[in-house]
Amino acid sequence: MINPRVFFDIDIDGNRIGRIVFELFADQVPKTAENFRALCTGEKGLGKVSNMPLHYKGSIFHRIIKGFMCQGGDFTRRNGTGGESIYGATFPDESFARKHDTHGLLSMANRGPNTQSSQFFITTRPTPHLDGKHVVFGRVVSGYNIVEMMENEPVDDNDRPLHNVMIANCGELVLKLPPGTIIKDGKIKKVNDKSDDSDDSDDSDSTSSSSHKRKKRARSDESGSDSEEERKKRKKKHRKHSKKEDKKRKKKKESKRRDSSIEHKESKRRDSSVEHKERKDSLAGHSKKEEERRHQTSPDRRQPTERRSRPRLNYYDPNVEVKGRGRFKYRPLK
């Protein structure tokens, strides 16, 4: 597993001197590590015993012995007689597996067996005489020079610093993985490891998919300027495709408009033809009716082509009297 990391921002008489970062051994002493981590974040609120915030922020290092250790964590009385854990007033010793074999170790202060609360100390040299009595639960991973500056602060006869050495701020650090790495089985691994690929084959499809995406992102991050070129190419391709699509849409629209126009003209022509035919038929019907009407109003009137059929006059008819030799003829005298 990945152990949590926390930090202290240290002020001496109100002047910031720097930050100390600790790794907590949650894999070996989880209960003790969790107590310290929660007191750094202040997430537990008020203590049940002291009714004070369970938070190291604003507390001081009340005891410093050069060449030995720096002790703090009494946020209730600030003199080494107070303190409270997140589990109550005190909680039992967890494990003495870790030894006080180097400087920069975090260890729990106590008043005897199973009396751990919130007080701790940072060693400035190996202290083997404390093995089996105090629980080692962390170590300094950066900022040990700040511990040395604290160690060199002047103190009084009771080992209390003459200047106020305060934890001005504290909290938990969030782990940020470098590109191309993942956390698997509590360890940081590179995505392109063969062992990871074989392990990933046993995972579900969703895990495989997310792993593939991370790989692609990792490769993209590593390629640097190449990835920039790829992005430009993709953009260019996208623009080209968009232009093609626009042209297609435009052409389709024009074709549709053209077809619509032709259809409209054809429809108009058909309508005009039908209207003309109807008008023609109407006129023909009207003229026919007019002629019939004319015949009805003058039934005795003969057609212009008709000729009157009269009996031919016979000059030798005894009943006809003819005068002269001309063409003048007279009706018979009665």
Supply the residues annotated as catalytic. Answer: 63, 68, 71, 110, 121, 130, 134
Taking alpha carbons only, the member of 94, 77, 95, 75 closest to residue 85 is 75
Whole-angstrom distance, CA of residue 169 vs CA of residue 244: 60
* Other beta carbons within 10 Å of 17: 17
CA distances from 195 to 18, 29, 189, 199, 261 (A): 41, 30, 10, 6, 68
Are the C-beta atoms of residues 17 and 123 closer than 8 Å to each other? no
Q: DSSP state, 48?
A: T
Nearest to 54 by CA among 91, 26, 14: 91
Residue 255 half-sphere exposure toward CB, CA atoms < 13 A: 6
Contact 122, 149 (CB under 8 A): no
- Which alpha helices (H) appear in the chain, and where do they start and end? 30-41, 144-151, 194-200, 205-223, 225-297
Length of the chain: 334
Q: Which residues contact 74 (CB under 8 A, 6 or more apart)?
A: 59, 62, 80, 81, 82, 83, 118, 119
| Dist. CA 334–CA 34, nearest whole Å | 164
Angle made by CA atoms 6, 9, 13, in degrees to the nearest 5: 150
Contact between residue 170 and residue 155 where contact means Cβ atoms under 8 Å apart: no
